[in-house]
Amino acid sequence: MNEYLKAFQSISSATDNLLENEYISLEIKKSATNLLESVQPCFRELIQSANNLNSFIQVSSSHLDYADKLWSSKPQIAEAPKEEIWQQIGDRTPS
């Protein structure tokens, strides 16, 4: 997707350069404007998709971090004295 985003950015930049050139014919400027307008929806869609993917990646990363911490805590729990575990469980029972 990054390749497509770069391609659309390139097209956008090239058309902007054409539109800034005062020596280009009106037909070329009109074609450049039409091209720029036609790629804008694609460009917006790519940006929105990239933002959505970034959001999913952040959530997944958070879940992986939690799973890693949980997995890492299991040996500590297994090595803890049983009496201490039962005492902590008893201390947290609702009144």
Coil, strand, or helix at residue 41? helix
Binned at pLDDT 50, 70 and 90, residue 93 comes out as low
How many Cβ atoms from other residues are within 10 Å of residue 42's Cβ? 14
Got the DSSP string for 3-31? HHHHHHHHHHHHHHHHHH-TTS-HHHHHH
For residue 83, what pLDDT is reported?
Answer: 84
For residue 54, what pLDDT is reported?
Answer: 93
Q: pLDDT tens across 9-67, in order?
A: 888 888 888 888 888 888 988 988 898 888 889 888 888 988 999 999 999 999 999 99
**Residue ranges of the domains in the chain?**
1-92
